[in-house]
Amino acid sequence: MKSKLYVNEIGYRPEDKKIAVYCGKEAVKYTIIKDGTECVSEGVSGEGVYNSTTNDYEIKIDFSDIKECGTYVVKAGEVFSVPFTVAENVYEEVRKSLMRFFFLQRCGVELTKEYGGDYAHKICHNTPARIYGTDMFKEVNGGWHDAGDYGRYIVAAAVTLAALFHAIENDESLLKVDMQIPESGKAMPDILSEIRYELEWMLKMQDEATGKVYHKVTCAGFCDFIMPEYETEELIICPFSLTATADFAACMAMAVKFYEPYDKAFADRMADAAKRAYAVMRSIQVPGGFLNPEGVVTGTYEDKNERDEQYWAAAEMYKAFGDELYKKEFEDYVNQEIMHGYGWEDVGSFGNLAYLSTTYPTDETVSRKLREAMVEKADLLMKKCEANNFDISFDENDFIWGSNMYIAENGSHLFDAYKITGDEKYLEAAKEHIQYIFGKNPCNVCFITGFGTNQVLEPHHRPSAAAKKAMPGMLIGGPDSGLHDPDAIRDCTGLAPAKCYTDKLLSYSTNEVTIYWNSALLMLMAQVL
């Protein structure tokens, strides 16, 4: 059901701001209809405003006065929106589904029908992996499949867990969610049990002799759209990287406090691993950053700027352990350049939050610089929000590969400014980024699989393709004006940047999923909903 009247297809809580966007230039009469028949509000809109990201004129329709629970549609002229719900608990199901995605991505274990449903599979990727360029093998079973493929990558894993830890810190109710996993009902909360499954794999990726961390483990290339147990090519552990080792140190340091109450020995093991990785990370000198070795063509996660990973690691190590060395090194980084970012490539904001939230002594001048820089970044984003009819912090140049991750990331930057200043404008702007993902967007689709009326049906995700049914609870990549795959070229050439999306299995640049896109959204939801 496609129309040119866009709403959050999942719904709203009674007190939420509620804005529909109608594609049109002339003022229009609108009505809000409850339960199919009852007109509960009506009015006449203003005129449309041109949007360079969509190449359309659009009108905002504010129906925030609708607070009574029920099912609604918006009608503008002769155009109807999809139906949506107003309810206090409207986001509970999508939150749980976003969380369960991690369990469904488990590698190295059988997912039984009881827990995996349509996506059950036999044990996979459970053979020792060859260390690239050698005749040595290492057991690195476990962890989560990273994305639509079956690779496992340290830099992606680290930022995924960082976002999940921040989500828990901002919304402790996540610790009570029954994720319907084999570990449910035990003393450790389900979300921490699930995160531990990834942490255990990450620990295996650290070299016992040196403390360095291998970048990834994958096959040499990508397999067909099959269930994971049928990918039986040799597993290859790719060389150490500075980014993997620094991210590993940061993530392990973060994890310690979450597990100390449940398993002190495991927490101590991670603390030791973090210290060993941090001590050795600078000895890994690879000009230009990690690149795939010859013969390996799976995801690279290349990063030519490795300073922000070290920046983040120093801050997390200081927050966790209080050693003056870590404090000095982070402050030295800040005095050279304040870094930002909640994505796999730019991780500086995780470092900023760590320094500002540590219980150990900090330098007030450094803290003030960080707060000012975080608000300044949010102010730049606010200018973009004000210029975009969908109230998101994007202009026509921002719709790049994985754009929905940056939507969520920018929402977290806006939330940072709200926490620092108390100004509600930042909080409301952050919330609008979630409304965009949930359906109030010019693609007229809910970007979470399994939710909304206009659903993503063919994500670039191997288990979904093999099962012939989209796994629910996955945030897909979203519009990418770079047109990086043949389906995107065929379906999106000539479209405005914000509309360069196609729901096609082979459109890896617009329709893939990853663990760190889900965690970025969960982090934002925990902060603002």
Residues linked to residue 39 through DSSP beta bridges, in sequence order:
33
Average pLDDT of span 16-25: 97
Q: What is the mean pLDDT of the chain?
A: 97
Question: pLDDT (tens digit, 9 = 90+) per residue, 47-89?
Answer: 999 999 999 999 999 999 999 999 999 999 999 999 999 999 9
What is 92-131 written as a DSSP string?
Answer: HHHHHHHHHHHHHTB-SS-B-HHHHGGG-B---S-SPEEE
Work out the angle at residue 457's Cα, subtended by the Cα atoms of residues 456 and 458, and round it to the nearest 5 degrees: 105
Residues 307, 438: Cα–Cα separation, whole Å: 34
Tokens 């961390």, residue located: 213
Cα separation of 206 and 215, whole Å?
A: 10
Residue span of the structural domain in which 207 resides = 107-362
Report d(CA 173, CA 192) in Å as an integer.
12
The residue from 247, 346, 432, 512 that is catalytic is 512
- Is 331 one of the annotated active-site residues of the chain? no
**Number of residues assigned to the chain:** 529
- Which of 19, 3, 4, 2 has its CA nearest to residue 56? 4
Q: Is 260 designated active site?
A: no
Q: What CATH number does residue 198 fall under?
A: 1.50.10.10
pLDDT at 2: 67
Strand order in the sheet with 19-23: 5-6, 19-23, 56-62, 49-51
Q: How confident is the model at residue 288 (pLDDT cuts 50, 70, 90)?
A: confident
In this model, does residue 1 exceed pLDDT 60? no
Residue 157 in any domain: the answer is yes
pLDDT reported for residue 287: 74
For residue 333, tell me if it sits in a domain: yes
- DSSP characters for 411-424? HHHHHHHHHHH--H
Place of tokens 């090194």: 329
| From 117-126, 263-272, 282-291, the region with the lowest mean pLDDT | 282-291
Tell me the percentage of the chain whose pLDDT exceeds 90.
98
Q: What is the pLDDT of residue 209?
A: 97
Q: According to the model, what pLDDT value does residue 3 have?
A: 74
Predicted confidence band at 465 (pLDDT cuts at 50, 70, 90)?
very high
> Helices 364-387 and 324-336 meet at what angle, rounded to 10?
50
pTM above 0.95, yes or no: yes
From CA 3, how far away is CA 440, in angstroms rounded?
12
Structure token pair of residue 128: 């020792």
- pLDDT given for residue 331 in this prediction: 98
Average pLDDT over residues 319-327: 98
Angle of helix 348-357 versus helix 154-170 axis, rounded to 10: 40
Which amino acid appears at position 353 of this protein? Answer: L
pLDDT class of 285 with cuts at 50, 70, 90: confident
Report how far residue 412's alpha carbon sits from residue 431's, in angstroms, rounded to the nearest whole number. Answer: 10
* The pLDDT of residue 16: 97
Burial class of residue 63 in the structure, from the number of CB atoms within 10 Å of its CB (0-12 exposed, 13-18 middle, 19+ buried): buried
pLDDT at 289 over 80: yes
Question: Which helix or strand (DSSP H or E) is residue 57 part of?
Answer: strand 56-62
| Domain assignment of residue 311, yes or no | yes
Provide the terminal-to-terminal Cα distance of the chain, rounded to the nearest Å.
27
What is the number of domains present in the chain?
1
Looking at the chain, the whole-number percentage of residues with pLDDT higher than 70 is 100
C-alpha span between 89 and 16 (Å, rounded): 12
197-244 pLDDT, tens per residue? 999 999 999 999 999 999 999 999 999 999 999 999 999 999 999 999
Let me know if residue 415 belongs to a domain.
no
**pLDDT of res. 265:** 98
* Cβ–Cβ under 8 Å, residues 511 and 502: yes
Q: What is the mean pLDDT of the segment spanning 488-493? A: 98
Q: Report the distance separating Cα 172 and Cα 191, nearest Å.
A: 11
What distance in Å separates the CA atoms of residue 168 and residue 260, rounded to the nearest whole number?
Answer: 15
Q: Please give the Cα distance from 33 to 24 (Å, whole number).
A: 20
Any domain includes 143: yes
503 given a catalytic annotation = yes
Rounded Cα distance, 51 and 22, in Å: 12
Q: Token match 């409850």: residue?
A: 34
Q: Which of 149, 309, 409, 480 is catalytic?
A: 149
Are the C-beta atoms of residues 4 and 78 closer than 8 Å to each other?
no
Residue 116 in any domain: the answer is: yes
Active-site entry in 303, 460, 480, 485: 460
Q: Do the domain assignments include residue 55?
A: no
Q: Which amino acid is at 141?
A: N
Say if 522 falls within a structural domain.
no
Helix (H) or strand (E) holding 59: strand 56-62
Q: Tell me how far apart the alpha carbons of residues 56 and 182 are, in angstroms, rounded to a whole number.
A: 49
Say whether 294 is catalytic: no
